[in-house]
Amino acid sequence: MHNGVHLGTYFLIILYPVAGLFIIEMICRAAKIPSWIKLVTQATMCVGFGIVYLTMQIAHWLTGGVLLALAFALFYQAKLSKLNPERALY
């Protein structure tokens, strides 16, 4: 079934959040930013993309839902990382 969105557009919809996570990761590693700040920044970016994807003209519910679930996990990891930096996995 074709809903007017081309395959290349779906590819870009997936690529943008991945590129954002990668760019934030590289900037934080280069600047030696604490992991909890990096994780909160990545989670905030995921929430932003998730909301945008849920409110687009042709909503991408699955992609938006996965990004919001990832944001929840990143916020949880940031909390653990801030409470005990020695045990931080990231």
Spans of all domains in the chain: 7-84
Count Cβ atoms within 10 A of the Cβ of residue 81 and give its class: 0-12 exposed, 13-18 middle, 19 or more buried: buried
Q: Tokens 């932003």 — which residue?
A: 48
The answer, yes or no, to whether residue 84 has pLDDT greater than 60, is yes
The confidence score (pLDDT) of residue 2 equals: 59
Q: Of 24-28, 33-37, 84-88, which has the strongest mean pLDDT? A: 24-28
Kindly state the tokens that stand for 67. Answer: 């990004």
Kindly state the tokens that stand for 28. Answer: 């934080």
Other beta carbons less than 10 A from residue 70's beta carbon: 19
- The pTM score is 0.86
Average pLDDT over residues 71-82: 93
